């Protein structure tokens, strides 16, 4: 008899946790991802801001699953799911399943204004990160070349849209890059005079965090020289910059860190999604009416008892992945199904800049240098291999001691 | 009185050595490069074969010249030189000079068959390296997906054209990548059965080296499983593979490591170039009839006394750069001009694979593990910063101990 075939779409934190949980199960696991690598997304902003190299925070999915004999990896794009025939279509080929885990993550959404994407790229993949790095560094190079003061001001204005963790981390890192790392390297311009503007439609940054930490974050950003525009929605992005409400802001570099839009999983299944494109799942992480499908991570909208939404962060995806592995074993190997899934809070972390970070965990509120060191240690700890830990620590030590950034490369085609 | 303006085009080994030699001169130095980074080209093949990250072997030109107060950096493309008016055109803007150093390096040439470039990319820039890495790694991913044995064979055949140091180093690294690093990571294919074919039109590999070392290199490549085709010119490259003489070789991944073609410096100056596009220079590294222009590195064809051509390697470019700095100081500050330039042999090095390298220095011939360790130590020594040395050594140790490669990322747009 052949073993049950479990197909996991997406090799992010959730998908890999599900695969790992099935290591000793009597099933055949297929992990499908359109990239060949698992990405440590929490540090992606450091690639975009020239602090780390892509390979420092990414690992081939194949290597990660090398020793798991019941798993194979397909690099390819899922274009459709057929729940009636239990088939996933990968690059045009049918891949049959007995159990399906959708862990396809989220991408950035432009609230229906997809034409903004060309002017305000988002940050989800390594290619996004190196493209943003190129734009950022090219702006300074062009400013150094220009003799037109207006052009120069436009080039030295950087706008980040979205005051969540990614937006805050980008704004802080870009301010430090401009004011410290680049400051001594130019002759015609003074990069320290760069305007870094963080625009957030809501009333505060880090809306998921306790208010006291949002307030601290706003102060810490201001200390770094970041201009904060709260309660001001971006109404337009074009080649010249952005419109914030009625006002125009001239900028050559706009980065989009708002509006998460989930993957097309809902469309594949022909079921409803919420405004952010996520699929509502039961407390067993399944879409209603699909006994052999599980949806986890940023693709799912799941709530804890009491209706508290589970946030779109790595610990949630990991716990959900481990949970669905147990549920799949129960279903296909027999045994009692696990009780409904409850997310156990692992805390919220965000970093603003050197010696400034915030941590909220249960009743604990941490901010400042201690939070920053804990943030760094936690992120190094979660990197996959000792080699990557050594390399990231080396890069960080250098940055800490010398304000240098190791990956100030302009690569890829010019815009 | 304004200081003499020295423009250096190209921030490779030659251009940077010239700039450094002018640090204490009473001149204004402008370094122009179309990239923002200096590249340590001898290790570029390791980026192409997933061993190192781009940032490990590249540094912003601005950082390197930060402390040199008389130097500025322009990132831009030179499109013309006007020797009569002493003007270099950078991105459409005139940049006047009193002395000009052309150190623009070489690119790969296809012997007039430029349409081959799309099928057989060459290796000169970081973007070339990540594009080759993508092609290489994608070939294995596609082979794992295909069910057609012929297609699979084509995908698992990798052809390197050109048996110089770059071709040898690529062939050895790719053979090791396939046979060891990737061997355990696939389920449907056996990467160890990959065909790696090195094609060289001449009678031996490493034609610049002593014959005994060429013979050793051929044996070492064979031991790694590389198929050597000597004395067989490639007569065609297309989407299906290559033609070698009359025979076809079906391959999805062809890499071009032959046919150096110099930059358009000769065209800019309206003077003759040799078959490889290089400009013949006097023993003072100047094109005949141009008193205020110097040409160095791969852009120049220079000979030692007796007519021995100076090879296209980093030590030649560095010595030439230091020499023209002295010549420029003599010319613009007064004093006796230096005697004609003579290249002092610093040896020839090439590596084939683990514990296999060759070194020729004067009468010394080294090969095998000692040469390999010397090669590694020399390359680490020449990296610019301590941080890069630490990171490269970490990556190499890992590769040495575990056969892992740290940068197995498929990035960039798919072909």
Sign of the Cα torsion A103, A104, A107, A109 reads negative
CA distance B137 to A319: 31
Interface contact B411-A127, CB threshold 8 A: yes
ipTM over 0.90: yes
Interface contact B411-A126, CB threshold 8 A: yes
pLDDT 10s digits, B41-80? 999 999 999 999 999 999 999 999 999 999 999 999 999 9
Chain B residues touching A62 at Cβ < 8 A: 185-186
Question: Which H or E run includes A272?
Answer: none
- Nearest to B259, CA basis, from B184, B164, B354, B391: B164
- How do the residues of chain A divide into helix, strand and coil, expressed in percent and rounded to 5? 35, 25, 40
Secondary structure (3-state) at B190 = coil
Q: Residue holding tokens 């963790």? A: A165
For residue A318, list its beta bridge partners. none
pLDDT 10s digits, B79-98? 999 999 999 999 999 999 99
For residue B233, what are its two tokens? 């010119």
Q: Residue holding tokens 């390594």? A: A126
The residues of B carrying an active-site annotation are 169
- Nearest to A251, CA basis, from A138, A130, A133, A156: A156
Segments of chain B assigned to CATH 3.50.50.60:
5-108+260-333
CA distance B100 to A207: 57
- Nearest to A399, CA basis, from A43, A133, A51, A55: A51
First to last CA, chain B: 55
Catalytic residue among A115, A169, A333, A404: A169
Q: Is A169 a catalytic residue?
A: yes
Contact by Cβ (8 Å): A242, A197: no
- Nearest to B34, CA basis, from B100, B78, B64: B78
For residue B301, list its beta bridge partners. B280
Interface test with B, best of A49, A406, A413 (most B CBs within 10 A): A406
pLDDT at A77 over 60: yes
- φ, ψ of residue A279 in degrees (nearest 5): -95, 125
Contact by Cβ (8 Å): A247, A197: no
CA distance A151 to B202: 54
A399: number of Cβ within 10 Å: 22
- Nearest to A165, CA basis, from A46, A318, A264, A253: A46
pLDDT 10s digits, B244-283? 988 999 999 999 999 778 778 999 999 988 888 899 999 9
Segments of chain A assigned to CATH 3.50.50.100:
114-258
Secondary structure (3-state) at B281 = coil
Chain B residues touching A390 at Cβ < 8 A: 394
Contact by Cβ (8 Å): B388, B39: no
Kindly calculate the radius of gyration of chain A based on its CA atoms and give it in whole angstroms.
22
Query: Residues, chain A, total?
Result: 415
CA distance A404 to A402: 5
Interface contact B394-A390, CB threshold 8 A: yes
**Tens-binned pLDDT, residue by residue, of chain B (415 aa):** 689 999 999 999 999 999 999 999 999 999 999 999 999 999 999 999 999 999 999 999 999 999 999 999 999 999 999 999 999 999 999 999 999 999 999 888 898 899 999 999 999 999 999 999 999 999 999 999 999 999 999 999 999 999 999 999 999 999 999 999 999 999 999 999 999 999 999 999 999 999 999 999 999 999 999 999 999 999 999 999 999 988 999 999 999 999 778 778 999 999 988 888 899 999 999 999 999 999 999 999 999 999 999 999 999 999 999 999 999 999 999 989 999 999 999 999 999 999 999 999 999 999 999 999 999 999 999 998 888 999 999 999 989 888 888 889 999 875 4
Interface contact B55-A404, CB threshold 8 A: no
Q: Burial of B175 by CB count in 10 Å (0-12 exposed, 13-18 middle, 19+ buried)?
A: buried
B315: number of Cβ within 10 Å: 18
CA distance B72 to B60: 13
Chain A residues touching B72 at Cβ < 8 A: 187-188
For residue B221, what are its two tokens? 């490549």
- φ, ψ of residue A82 in degrees (nearest 5): -120, 95
Closest residue on chain A to B58 (Cα) = A409
pLDDT 10s digits, A369-408? 999 999 999 999 999 888 899 999 999 998 988 888 888 9
Segments of chain A assigned to CATH 3.50.50.60:
5-34+76-108+260-333
Kindly calculate the radius of gyration of chain B based on its CA atoms and give it in whole angstroms.
22
pLDDT 10s digits, A258-314? 977 877 899 999 998 888 889 999 999 999 999 999 999 999 999 999 999 999 999
- pLDDT value, residue A1: 64
- Give the pTM: 0.95
- pLDDT value, residue B170: 98
Question: Which H or E run includes B319?
Answer: helix B314-333
From the list A63, A126, A394, the residue facing B390 with the nearest CB is A394
Closest residue on chain B to A401 (Cα) = B387
- pLDDT value, residue B109: 85
From the list A54, A93, A409, the residue facing B409 with the nearest CB is A54
For residue B201, what are its two tokens? 């039109």
Q: Residue holding tokens 């306790």? A: A210
Chain B residues touching A185 at Cβ < 8 A: 60, 62-63, 66, 73
Interface contact A388-B407, CB threshold 8 A: no
Q: Residue holding tokens 């980065």? A: A255
pLDDT 10s digits, A186-232? 999 999 999 999 999 999 999 999 999 999 999 999 999 999 999 99
Contact by Cβ (8 Å): B262, B144: no
CA distance A119 to B400: 44
A168: number of Cβ within 10 Å: 32
Interface contact B60-A185, CB threshold 8 A: yes
B311: number of Cβ within 10 Å: 13
For residue B349, list its beta bridge partners. B359
- Nearest to B355, CA basis, from B372, B332, B374: B372
Interface contact B53-A54, CB threshold 8 A: yes
DSSP state string for A78-102: EEEEETTTTEEEETTEEEE-SEEEE
CA distance B187 to A122: 35
Q: Which fold has domain B5-108+260-333?
A: FAD/NAD(P)-binding domain (3.50.50)
CA distance B50 to B72: 34
Sorting pLDDT into bands at 50, 70 and 90, what band is A415?
very low
Secondary structure (3-state) at A238 = strand
Closest residue on chain B to A30 (Cα) = B187
CATH for B114-258 is 3.50.50.100
CATH for A5-34+76-108+260-333 is 3.50.50.60
CA distance B58 to B37: 6
From the list B387, B388, B411, the residue facing A54 with the nearest CB is B411
Contact by Cβ (8 Å): B266, B238: no
List the beta strands (DSSP E) in A245-347. 247-250, 253-256, 260-262, 279-280, 293-295, 300-301
Mean pLDDT over the full length of chain A: 94
Interface contact B410-A36, CB threshold 8 A: yes
CA distance A54 to B55: 9
Question: Which H or E run includes A31?
Answer: strand A28-33
Chain B residues touching A137 at Cβ < 8 A: 36
CA A8 and chain centroid, separation: 19
Nearest CA to CA, how far is B388 from chain A (Å)? 8
pLDDT at A126 over 70: yes
Interface test with B, best of A38, A53, A177 (most B CBs within 10 A): A53
Chain B residues touching A145 at Cβ < 8 A: 74-76, 91, 93
pLDDT at A414 over 80: no
Interface contact A141-B390, CB threshold 8 A: no
Q: Burial of B167 by CB count in 10 Å (0-12 exposed, 13-18 middle, 19+ buried)?
A: buried
Interface contact A145-B93, CB threshold 8 A: yes
Nearest CA to CA, how far is B92 from chain A (Å)? 11
From the list B56, B76, B406, the residue facing A145 with the nearest CB is B76
- pLDDT value, residue B414: 54
């Amino acid at each position: 008899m052949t073993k049950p075939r479990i197909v996991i779409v997406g090799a992010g934190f959730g998908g890999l946790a599900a695969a790992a949980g099935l290591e000793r199960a009597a099933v055949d696991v297929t992990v499908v991802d359109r990239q060949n690598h698992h990405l440590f997304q929490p540090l992606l902003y450091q690639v975009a801001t020239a602090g780390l190299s892509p390979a420092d925070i990414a690992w081939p999915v194949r290597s990660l699953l090398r020793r798991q004999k019941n798993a194979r990896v397909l690099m390819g794009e899922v274009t459709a799911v057929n729940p009636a025939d239990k088939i996933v279509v990968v690059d045009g080929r049918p891949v049959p399943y007995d159990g399906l885990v959708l862990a396809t993550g989220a991408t950035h959404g432009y609230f229906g204004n997809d034409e903004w994407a060309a002017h305000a790229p988002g940050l989800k993949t390594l290619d996004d990160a190196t493209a943003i790095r190129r734009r950022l560094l090219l702006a300074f190079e062009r400013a150094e070349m220009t003799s037109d003061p207006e052009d120069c001001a436009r080039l030295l204005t950087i706008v980040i849209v979205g005051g969540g963790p990614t937006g805050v981390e980008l704004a802080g890192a870009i301010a430090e890059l401009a004011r410290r790392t680049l400051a001594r390297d130019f002759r015609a311009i003074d990069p320290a005079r760069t305007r870094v503007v963080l625009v957030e439609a809501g009333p505060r940054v880090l809306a998921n965090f306790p208010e006291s930490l949002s307030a601290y974050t706003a102060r810490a950003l201001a200390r770094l020289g970041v201009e904060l525009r709260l309660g001001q929605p971006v109404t337009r992005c074009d080649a010249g910059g952005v419109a914030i409400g009625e006002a125009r802001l001239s900028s050559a570099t706009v980065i989009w860190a708002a509006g998460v839009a989930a993957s097309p999983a809902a469309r594949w299944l022909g079921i409803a999604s919420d405004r952010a494109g996520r699929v509502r799942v039961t407390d067993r992480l399944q879409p209603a009416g699909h006994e052999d499908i599980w949806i986890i991570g940023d693709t799912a909208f799941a709530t804890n008892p009491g209706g508290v939404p589970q946030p779109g962060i790595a610990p949630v995806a990991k716990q959900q992945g481990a949970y669905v592995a147990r549920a799949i074993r129960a279903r296909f190997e027999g045994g009692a199904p696990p009780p409904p899934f409850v997310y156990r809070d692992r805390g919220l972390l965000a970093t603003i800049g050197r010696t400034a970070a915030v941590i909220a965990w249960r009743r604990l509120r941490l901010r400042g240098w201690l939070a920053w060191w804990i943030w760094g240690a936690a992120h190094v700890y979660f990197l996959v291999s000792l080699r990557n830990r050594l390399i990231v620590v080396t890069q960080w030590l250098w940055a800490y001691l010398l304000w240098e950034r190791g990956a100030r490369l302009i690569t890829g085609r010019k815009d």
